[in-house]
Amino acid sequence: MTTPLRLGIAGLGTVGTGVVKIVRQKAKLIEARAGRPVTISAVSARTRDKDRGVNLSDYAWEDDPVALASRDDVDLFVELMGGSDGPAKAATEAALSAGKDVVTANKAMLAHHGQALAEMAEANGAVLRFEAAVAGGIPVVKSLTEGLAGNEITRVMGVMNGTCNYILTRMQSGGLPYDEVFEEADKLGFLEADPTLDVGGIDAGHKLALLSAIAFGAQVNFDAVELEGIERVTITDIRHADDLGYRIKLLGVAQMTGRGLEQRMSPCLVPKRSPLGQLEGGTNMVVLEGDQVQQIVLRGPGAGEGPTASAVMGDVIDIARGFRCTTFGVPAAMLTEATPAKTATPAPYYLRMALDDKPGALAKVATALGNAGISIDRMRQTKHKDNTAPVLIVTHRTTRSALDEALDAMSRLDVIAHQPVALRIESV
């Protein structure tokens, strides 16, 4: 099989340019590995006249990505435009409906339209792959879909937004408040145009929804991801968590339970000596747990030109080699409409509150917890300056509903100086 695989690349930002560079500079290596040449027929982007530091003169130019995806000399459409709808989706659909394979880095598009696109791919005998959409350069889609295919996956976890992990790590190491680090991250260009995508957990939530689908053979259901961003994480809680032996991470967790499919993306405490707790800066980490393999931890750069282009090229070379598989690991028609779990798996929680410095205050709080059936693992009253006493509690494992009941009871106590902060402690 020495017929070249001819790419059409739409989107020439950092990643698209990176892919062009690799195809140009590593042609011989890629041909040896793929068993056939990989070439570029045509490219497309919003602006044509822009120096991207790479020679594009060998390739046809299309202003319209749909036209690009439809060209006769394009076998594989590489979608690197982004955006859940609009041109990215239109061009992907044009390619798939023509039976052309598609490689994309577009987590938003797949999180919203993954099921429809997977069905369209399979109906037309096309392959749709998206390694670059999840955790950048880490081959996690491949590991889950292929490497662990002999497992029933029991849980998937991940720190999959480098910006959030950078912010939380920097707050921790520099002792800085959220707002200050947020501004710093903004100046460094780490934030998306709409920063809510990052700090609101949406980007990471998209990724979790994709991994969930593969892990549990379920239709992608981003709307069912319980989302909470890092905006309300304070340096106070980061410090207290540290004292108690934990780090706060924006952690995604997906698991199939008797109550349905649980998908959560939220700030959690994890032991600081665990691999997730030790993860610093913009790096990503994904933890895959299966009934056979126990636990696999994958760590690497979650963004950037090289790492993301590396993931795109992994998919391209697989397709060039003739690897053909379903989008989410089983035929799209077999993906179930998993019921979303209404409540999270029980866990210990970290609680921080301030009590008026009066006799019996702590007893009232303990009673509120006890009445909700929650027992206390550790309690610390820290130093206080004014008339209020900061109190930290680590509970034993409890349901979120019992916790909410206790929090509600506490909020009505006359000794509570400020509403308790509650953060889940994930066992990792």
- Rule CB under 8 A: say whether 314 interacts with a copy of itself: yes
Q: How far is the CB of 217 from a copy of itself (least distance, A)?
A: 7
Residue 159 or 230: which CB sits closer to a copy of itself?
Answer: 159
Residue 150 or 258: which CB sits closer to a copy of itself?
Answer: 150
* DSSP conformation class of 144: I
Binding range to a copy of itself, per CB under 8 A, among 197-205, 234-242, 308-316, 364-372 = 308-316
What is the pairing mode between strands 246-257 and 260-271? antiparallel
Window 133-192: residues binding a copy of itself (CB under 8 A): 137-139, 142-143, 146-152
- Rule CB under 8 A: say whether 390 interacts with a copy of itself: no
Kindly give, in sequence order, each residue whose CB lies less than 8 Å from that of residue 149, ignoring residues fewer than 6 positions away: 329
Residue 176 or 293: which CB sits closer to a copy of itself?
Answer: 293
* DSSP conformation class of 393: E
Q: How far is the CB of 275 from a copy of itself (least distance, A)?
A: 7
Residue 22 or 423: which CB sits closer to a copy of itself?
Answer: 22
What is the pairing mode between strands 283-290 and 153-159? antiparallel
Instruction: Establish whether 12 is an annotated binding residue.
Output: yes
Do residues 177 and 235 make contact, with C-beta atoms less than 8 angstroms apart?
A: yes
Beta strands, E only, 144-259: 153-159, 226-227, 246-257
Binding range to a copy of itself, per CB under 8 A, among 29-37, 68-76, 78-86, 392-400 = 29-37
The catalytic residue among 89, 100, 207, 249 is 207
Give Cα separations from 408 to 8, 350, 404, 405, 411 (angstroms). Answer: 57, 16, 6, 5, 5
Instruction: Establish whether 13 is an annotated binding residue.
Output: yes
Q: Which of 115, 263, 326, 345 binds a copy of itself (CB under 8 A)?
A: 326
- Rule CB under 8 A: say whether 329 interacts with a copy of itself: yes
How far is 384 from 339, CA to CA, in rounded Å? 46
How far is 261 from 343, CA to CA, in rounded Å? 10
- Helix H or strand E encompassing 309: helix 305-321
Kindly give, in sequence order, each residue whose CB lies less than 8 Å from that of residue 232, ignoring residues fewer than 6 positions away: 267
Residue 162's Cβ-side half-sphere holds a number of Cα atoms within 13 Å equal to 20
Instruction: Establish whether 196 is an annotated binding residue.
Output: no
385 is catalytic: no
Q: Which of 27, 259, 323, 378 binds a copy of itself (CB under 8 A)?
A: 323
Q: Which of 185, 204, 254, 330 binds a copy of itself (CB under 8 A)?
A: 330
Residue 150 or 189: which CB sits closer to a copy of itself?
Answer: 150
Window 123-142: residues binding a copy of itself (CB under 8 A): 131, 137-139, 142
- Closest by CA position to 19, among listed 327, 326, 317, 322: 317
Instruction: Establish whether 234 is an annotated binding residue.
Output: no
Kindly give, in sequence order, each residue whose CB lies less than 8 Å from that of residue 301, ignoring residues fewer than 6 positions away: 136, 137, 138, 162, 282, 283, 284, 307
> Annotated binding site: which residue ranges?
10-17, 107, 192
Contact residues for a copy of itself (CB under 8 A)? Answer: 18, 22, 26, 29-30, 32-35, 131, 137-139, 142-143, 146-152, 217, 273, 275, 278, 290-301, 304, 306-307, 309-314, 316-318, 321-326, 329-331, 334
Catalytic residues: 207
